[in-house]
């Protein structure tokens, strides 16, 4: 496994998946809203942008600036897209987790059942 092929952390996966789901509407506020709505996780804007910056430096996402808007005080929104490398990293992480989950079943209370 090369340096670029390291597995993603849980939060990185969640952000990448949110960006994919939001498609061309993926910017800070919409990503935060999706995470709050879908997984009941309230993410601070600082934590979100720190992770987005890290993912962009790794080449897993790209960003573009939209038009400046009056409601944002003349500032432009920064839109994000998952790169091909980001999609490969997500697939690698998903496959690794699926492999590890083989033979494991949890009860409703979270205790382990006997392996399948």
pLDDT in tens, 54-87: 999 999 999 999 887 777 677 888 999 999 999 9
Q: Out of 13-17, 21-25, 57-61, 111-115, pick the least confident.
A: 111-115
pTM of the predicted model as reported, rounded to 2 decimal places: 0.83
Angle at 25 between CA 23 and CA 61, to 5 degrees: 60
Contact 72, 84 (CB under 8 A): no
pLDDT-based confidence at 6, cuts 50/70/90?
confident
pLDDT-based confidence at 107, cuts 50/70/90?
confident
Write out the H or E segment, with its range, that includes residue 100.
helix 84-101
């Amino acid at each position: 496994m090369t340096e670029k092929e390291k597995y993603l952390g849980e939060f990185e996966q969640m952000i990448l998946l949110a960006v994919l789901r939001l498609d061309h509407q993926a910017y800070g506020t919409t990503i935060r809203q999706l995470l709050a709505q879908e997984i009941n996780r309230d993410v601070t804007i600082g934590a979100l942008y720190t992770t987005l910056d890290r993912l962009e430096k790794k080449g897993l996402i790209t960003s573009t600036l939209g038009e400046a808007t009056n409601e944002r005080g003349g500032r432009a929104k920064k839109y994000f897209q998952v790169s091909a490398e980001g999609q490969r990293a997500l697939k690698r992480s998903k496959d690794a987790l699926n492999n590890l989950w083989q033979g494991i079943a949890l009860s409703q209370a979270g205790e382990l059942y006997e392996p399948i």
